[in-house]
Structure 1
Amino acid sequence: MHNDGKVVPIKKAHATPSPLARLPVVLLQVRDKAVQQLQQGLQDLFDNADDTLFEMADKSRNTLDHHIFFEAMRDLRLKRKNFERVFLEQLFEAFASLGQAGRGELQLVPVVSYDAPPGSSRDDLEKAVALEAMLGRVRHRDGLALGQLTARLSALLGNRLDERENPLGPALLCEFFLRAGRSLGVEIRVKLIMLKLFEKYVLSDADQLYGEANQLLVATGVLPDLEAVPSRRLEARATRKHPREEPLPATDQPVDENGQEAFAALQELLTAVRGSVAPTLEASAEPLPISTRDLLRLLSHLQQYVPEPEAEDDFDLRNQLEQLLTRVSVKSGKSRVVEDADEDVINLIALLFEFILNDRAVPDAFKALIGRLQIPMLKVALLDKSFLSRAGHPARRLLNEIAVAAMGSSPHDDYQRDPLYLRIEQVVQRLLNEFIEDPAIFPELLAEFSAFTADERRRSELLEQHTREAEAGRVRTEAARQRVADVLNRRLLGKVLPRPVVQFLQQAWSQVLLLASLKHGEQSVQWQAALRTMDELIWSVSLQPDTEAGRHLLEQLPGLLKALRDGLSSAAFDPFSTREFFLRLQALHVQAPEGIEELIEVHEPFVLSAASPDPVIDLPSNDPDLLKAQELKVGSWVVFQADATSTLRCKLTAIMAPANTYIFTSRTGLKVLEKSAGQLALAFKRGTLHSLDDGPLFERALAAVVNKLRQLNRGK
């Protein structure tokens, strides 16, 4: 375990049982209760870290800061689970160490000191100042409750503890946080932001942490006479976490005069499926139509029993309605049937949702959520037929907005922490709980959800722009690498030169050329100077000493050596790593070429590339799948089937010339895939790649249902 600052001795047990076995049961309860709160605090921290870093990137005034904050966001997302795991492991270890107090040999346990030692870097000083200020604020605000908790732990263990040894004290909590964050490759500004968030979302709730721990200890008789510390901030914290939401004013819904006419046209097609909703009774029972108002009441009753998304049983609306009608009919002694117009609406909505729940564009995990909207949408259609004909109807737009937002979500195990999934779940639950017959709730929910998705879209667009810029930079770098390799090959291939010089040019001077090309361009003075120095080096080791040029070589060497050193310095080469080359070069310059032992003929082309190129996939230019790949437009959504259980949904964000590389990003705007047109064509052929239709879901479903009904009517 890493030790920061001072250490103090506490005694370690000789016995072999686990330290946890020696802890009093109440102490384990204190630990487990604290773990619940700290886990929630860390989740809130990471959820808000993304927003905070995004805002910092958005406000940054230069490309470097923009890149730093976006890379930090990516690093946090990738390492979040490991971060939380390490933090909790440190907490568990600290509690286990308490179980060894007062027994046997000494064990060194770190006690954090945030005083920066002399000679510390500026970053360390900044971090030390920030930490000391954080600890001071916690002690000032919650010092009394913390002191009581430390005293009770000391009494329980029979060993006097220092506040800095208290596993729930701010000093050790900060230490756990810093240790967990060591794997993050972020600079000091990001670390300071993370510390501020740790204070805001974890340490700010320390009074609750200490209050609950003290209550558990008092309940078991540990120093019950200490005066209880009131929790001064519970109400303020509740207000912060659950702010009161003011409902949006209901908007007037314009009446679509063509609603009834459009519905009448649909009714002609729906006669083919009429008769599917009826009570199960003897044919002699007298039929009695049920009013639309009573039907709405039955649906509101069913609405309360819509199964949760995790339920395995399918919810068949028409079957459920039949059962209800049968029960009502048995009680009344008459066959209560649904009127034709209402049954047509029921069948139409059932067919629409049948299409939706089989649509590839809707991720499976979201289908269960959207499927729960079937009764609310049916009730809207019964109340307002313009729902079926007016594209701008708020309920219809809400369904389309939900489907568009969900389309880019790839399968993962932890939907309960996906903000989009949770927001859609909230919308669905509010409709099931609150929508009876007043449709004003739909424009309200639409406005709230549209604001949420607009913010998500803006965030992803910024990340997509960052991805495009990074890919453009990568393409420029790869092109520069190729040009540098071409320059070297023109000068080296076929020549016989000393091995150290060839290695130096290929391994070191190639980087000088690459940097000059990327920073200054190939028309610059720096690029021409680097070429000239390379040519002079090759010339210098190829001279015969008995020639006129060879006799004057020593006069020209200082300038050549200085140019070589200046070039290496511009590319940030360590002078010690190149010292051996210069010593060998000096020896080469005083030997005749035929006396040099390590002469080699360069016959292998030099390649300066960061990655091996993808194999070329040779397909005819008129191959249908290749044409299909080439027809993909930026903004198109696709789904890749990696294997039988793994799929990836992503959006084509850029097509990078000159190789026409297709760059795909996730819903959040991060790059997830890179393919050539040939690779896409092969995936289409194998059936592992499918384009997703991002058109409005309701409109696509309605068109499919109308087409299906027409086929049914033709078959009669």
Structure 2
Amino acid sequence: MKDSDNVVSIQGLQREQRESKRGASLPVPVAAVRDKARELFAEQAKLVFAKVDDSLFAMAEKAHGQEEQDGLFQALRLLRVERRKVVERFADNVARAFLVRESSDEANDLYSADSLSLVHNDDLEQLVAVDTMVANAKRDFAEPLAEISLRLNTLLSVKIYDKNNPIGPDAICDAFVEASRPLNLHIRARLTLLKKFEQIVMANLGTVYEQCNDLFVEHGVLPSLKQQRRVARQQQRSSARGPAPQAGQEPGQQPVGSAGMGATVTAAGYGLLPMNSGIAPMAAQDLLSHLGALQSHLPGSYSDGGIQLLNINSLLQERLVDVRQAAALTKVDSDIIKLVEMLFSFILEDRNLAEPIKTQLGRLQLPLLKVAIADKSFFSKGGHPARKLLNELADASTGWQAKDKYESDPLFKKVSEVVAQVLAEFDQDINIFSVLVESFREFIERERKRAQKLEQRIVDEADGRAKTQAARARVAAVMDALVAERELPPVVSEWLEKVWANMLFLSCIKEGTDSESWTRDVRTARDLVWSVHAPMPDGRKQLLGLLPALQERLKAGVEAVSLNSFDARRMFAGLKEVYRERFALAQRIVEERSRKAQEERDEVREQVRDEVREEVRVASHSAVVVDVEKVVELPQMEELEQVVAEVERKGQKAEAEELSESDPHWQQTFRLAQGSWFELKRGDEEQFRCRLAAVIKDIDQFIFVNRNGAKVAEFTRMELAQALRAAQLMPLDDGMLFERALQSVIGTVRKSRGEMH
């Protein structure tokens, strides 16, 4: 174990010992309430697990996928095994909460490490659910909870607030969340567990609070509070039936000097007040109404077109002062306001989008905040209509650039119209986002179809050029291999150049080098070369068997390449003459060999005559031998296939030699996805956005186009790797804007948590 671990362990042990001593010295009334609360909450927790068992079983049977069903059944088994331990931990946590510590303001700050856990992917829905049930409980049980706080304040040396009240909604929720945290539960199972906890425990806090207050009264702690509360309620009812609103006063607005929730609101007290000020938290509907008013009256500096992040708290403060009201925000609403501000801060700094587009998207901050306040699934539901709309607008605008008179650009006008429609028409019905998404998609589809026509023409032309170049290179490789070190009759060379090179080219273009037609045409070219270079007289019989089929294939080639009839007759005649000479050569060699045998048997002839005949024989034989020795063995079909394959790899090998195969930019070129957007820089001034439209594999070429489908750049793989290395070409993030913004916020939060811990 590390020394630091020892220090932490010793400090933890010392803290537990101090808390144990404090627990033992609690005032008798507090200790009695602690034991009573522990007992009541333990019984209620048992009911939670009894109810959640049935719910999870029903959910598992209706699960959409096997993975979800397995997760729910596993959670069901785990809860059955661990329920007793969780109940015990929960009861212990409730009792331990009576060792009250001072409340810290940092705990209420969204930017602190603990509060910012709201935006963690897995915990997001859980924490929103917890904050919601806490806010509801504080609203519903404010009076008995206030009595408990007052009584504890008279007995404890620590100041009691909502946050550190040992049986306040915050503490009870924290106690249960911590007790169930060790369980590895499917997120739906965890949310179901919390929902049952809310229905059985949190919804019945009033009963627990009444019993705890009665126990305090039995011990003589502020027994008159109940009577004071009854009088206060009567005064409130009387006030509610009291004088009509003063001139200029909105309905529901408190007049200057009137009392509300235990605090006197004077003219100086209008505006947004802290949670612990005694003012009742603003109801979600009231908050939405104020945000709606702000939405319809954006500040001039914002609506005039500048990019600006709204300070919602400041705007709410001004709004409440203007209407002469005072209110506080619930913890969850305050967190959501700050979270939306963080998200839009990312959006307004996103380099993927041009400044005018960011200005338009920034105007959606208030409407999307209203969505998040009204619908707590906004952050966790990837398919939420409002998120879809923001993502669609951003995705379509990724390659857009602000040119002169950009206000008249069709895309910019459409984005502006959509944003204006949201601001003008969205109140609380999120269906407007679905309607606008569909309308915007139809517009973008029409735009893309126009661009795709030009883009396809460009890609087809490039692809055609690439296939032509590749086919010519492969045909040349076959021809070079066939004629290498061989002297061919001129008419055969003409056949190869005028007819068979074109036949191979057509086969390669139409069907490729893996096709039967390509193989057949390569074999024909090889047979043609062999037919005029076959060893004689040994190959005479094989040649006689080959010529009829070869002649038919040559006729088919003449028709395929549309060779004119005059050249065809001449070339066939020339080829016929070559074969006549080849067979005549074979005959001469046969006769010469026969004559040689005869001469060897004729030993009785005169010596001089023998010498003359020997010279003739040797001379003739030498000529035939030279002719035969000139024959070089033709490559086999497998060798010709390897030659073609080598040509296909040649370009890549030549480029790869300039960069190491481990070079990250070279490797990156193999991972680029078609359709990805990039920022391309040319010189110090010129830079624009382009999309990878196609990769022409035959020549390893990358084609880039703009939003309209026009070609703006093309690179070989080597050129592309060098452009990426020099930051001349920089990929843009291709993820959905809202999700990237949320991930950025999460990353910031996690970094913050790491620094704080």
Q: TM-score of the superposition, structure 2-length normalised?
A: 0.42
Q: Which has the larger radius of gyration?
A: 2
Q: TM-score of the superposition, structure 1-length normalised?
A: 0.44
| Larger helix percent | 2
